[in-house]
Structure 1
Amino acid sequence: MASNTAQATQQPARHFNLVRCVTTCLLGLIVLVGLAVLIIWLVIRPQKLVYTLVNGSIQDFNLTNNHLNATLDFVLMAYNPNSKVSVYYDYIRSSVTYGDQTLAFNTIDPFFQPHRNTSRVESKLVALDLALSPSAFKQLRVEKSSGEIEVDVHFKSKIRFKVGIWKSNHRTLRIVCSSVTLHFSWYKHFEVIPCEEEL
C-alpha cells in the first residue's frame, strides 16, 4: 500500500519537472531569438525608403465623346538611406488614377539600388481612347478649362532586400503619390510631392 502511494507521488513530480524543463527551454529560446534580432537590428539599423515625385506633365490631352487620349510623364526619385541594405526592384508597375477611374498604366524596367543611393525612376503612361464614366468626363472637362487636373500616381513593385550575401524573399511594395497637380501650361512649375510607402 505504501509502495503504491510513493509511486503515485513520484509520477506527478516527474510530470511537473518535465513541464518546467520544457518551459525553461522555450523561454531560453525566445530570449536568444530576441537577442539575435536586437543585435542584427543594431548592426544594420534599417531605415525607411523615401520616395518623392519630382516631376509630372501631361501632353496631347483630348476629350471626345466620353473618351480620353493623353500622355502622362512622371519622375519618381527613390532614396535608400541605409548604409548596409540594398534593394532589388524586380518588377514595377505604375498607374495614374482620377477619382475611382484608372486612366493609364505601364511597366517600368527593373533595377538594383545600392545602399545610400538615389535612383531616378521615369514613367510614361498613355491613355488611348479610354472610355470614361459620364461623371469623370464632365469633371475632367471642367478641370481642363481651369488649366490643371489633379490625379493620384501609384507604383507597385516586387522588391528584395540584400544585406551582405543574404537576400530576402520578395515583398510587395506600394507607393502612393496623392493629389498630384498637372498643369496644361508648360511655364507653370510642378510642385514636388512626397509619396507614401505601403509595404
Structure 2
Amino acid sequence: MQDSSRPVTGYPVQNLNDYAPTPPTTGYSYARVNPNGHPYYSTPPPQNPHPTFLRRLLVAVAVFLIIFGAILFIIWLVLRPQLPDFSIQSLSLSNFSAANQRVNATWNAQIQVSNPNKKLSVSYGEVVSSIFHKDYFLSETRIGPFVQGTRSAGAVGASYSLVDSFVDGKVVDAMNEERSGGEMKFNLKVIADVAFQYGGWRGRRRFLTVWCDDVAVTASSGKMTGGPKKCSVY
C-alpha cells in the first residue's frame, strides 16, 4: 500500500499558501551585451561637472573682456589722446676735428616739445637723447624729467660731446667729405618714458621714440640750416 503523505515524483511542490516559489536571487547584477559585443549597464554613468564649469568660466572671461574693451573705447572717445609733437629748433656744432679715427666735437640742440591734447597733460620721466652720423652712434645725453600741461609747448636743451673719441674710419672719412662740401648732416634720437594724466588719473607709462633725421649744419659756422625741422614720433 502506497504512503499518501509522500509527494509524487514529477510534480512541483507548492507551499502552504498555494503560491509558486520565488526564484532564488544571488544579489548580483549582470551586464547586458550590446550588438557590438561590448558590455553596458542600464544605469548611465555620472556626468563630469568640469566641462560645464569650464564653459561658464570662458563665458565670464569673454563678457569681462567685452565690458573692459567698451570702457577703454569710451575713455578714448572722451579723452582722444594724441602723441606729443617734437621739432628741432636749432643745432650747432663747434670744436670739430676728425683725424686718425679720433674725433672732437660739441653739439648743442634746442628741441621743442608740444602737447596737442585738450584734456591730457604729459609727464616725462627719464629722457635720453642721442646724436648719430647716418646710423652710426656718436654721443648721448640725458634730459631731466618734466611735466607738460594741456595745449602747451616748451623747449628743452640737449648737449652732446666727443673728446678725442675713437670713431670708425669710414665714418670719419664721410664726415670730413661732408665738411669739405660745406654742409654736415646728423640725426637726433630721443627716447622718453611718458605717461598721460587727466586730473588725478594717470595712465600706464610707455616709451616714446622720436627720430629727427638729416639735420644739417654749415661747415663754416656750425649753425643749423633750413629752419626748424619736424621729427617723427612713435
Report if TM-score (shorter chain) is over 0.5: yes
Question: CA separation of 1:74/1:188 partners in 2, compared to 1, >3 Å: closer, same or farther?
Answer: closer
Return the alpha-carbon distance in structure 2 between the equivalents of residues 135 and 17 of structure 1.
68
Residue of structure 1 equivalent to 2:82? 47
In structure 2, how many angstroms separate the alpha carbons of the residues matched to 1:17 and 1:133? 66
User: 2:226 maps to what in 1?
Assistant: 190
Report the equivalent of 2:194.
159
Question: Closer, same or farther in 2 for the Cα pair 1:18/1:193, shift >3 Å?
Answer: same
**Secondary structure in structure 2 of the residue aligned to 1:4:** coil
Residues 174, 197 of structure 1: 8 Å contact kept: yes
**What RMSD, in angstroms, separates the aligned Cα atoms of the two structures?**
2.5
Structure 2 unmatched ranges of 5 or more: 1-28, 30-40
Identity %: 26
CA shift, 1:83, in A, is 1.4
Name the CA distance, whole Å, in 2 between partners of 1:182 and 1:162: 37
Judging by fraction of residues, say which structure has more strand: 1
Unaligned 5+ runs, structure 1? none
The amino acid across from 2:67 in the alignment is L
Counterpart CA distance in 2 for 1:97 and 1:188 is 15
- 1:77 offset after TM fit, Å? 1.2
Q: Distance in 2 between matches of 1:16 and 1:85?
A: 46
Q: C-alpha separation between the residues in 2 aligned to 1:192 and 1:134?
A: 31
Q: 2:130 aligns with which of 65, 75, 95?
A: 95
* Counterpart residue number, 2:149: 114
CA offset digits 1:70-116 (Å, max 9, x no partner): 11111111111111221111111211111343222211122111121
Q: CA deviation at 1:44?
A: 0.8
Q: Tell me if 1:143 matches 2:178.
A: yes
CA spacing shift, 1:23–1:130, aligned 2, 3 Å: closer
Please tell me whether the aligned partners of residues 93 and 108 of structure 2 are also in contact (alpha carbons under 8 angstroms).
Answer: yes
Q: Distance in 1 between matches of 2:138 and 2:157?
A: 17
Amino acid at match of 1:51: F
User: Aligned pair 1:178/2:217, yes or no?
Assistant: no
Q: TM-score, normalised by structure 1?
A: 0.84
Partners of 1:164 and 1:129 lie apart in 2 by: 49
Counterpart of 1:69 in structure 2 is 104
Q: What SS does the aligned partner of 2:81 have?
A: coil
Retained in 2: the 8 A contact 1:87–1:160?
Answer: yes
Q: Please, what TM-score do these two structures have when normalized by structure 2?
A: 0.73
Equivalent in 24, 30, 43 of residue 4 of structure 1: 43
**Contact 1:103–1:130 (CA<8 Å) still a contact in 2?**
no
The corresponding residue for 1:38 is 73
> What SS does the aligned partner of 2:195 have?
strand
Higher relative contact order (CA 8 A, sep 6+): 1
Aligned residues: 194
Please list, as runs of the form range in 1=range in 2, the aligned pairs for 1:122-133 lying within 5 A after superposition: 122-133=157-168
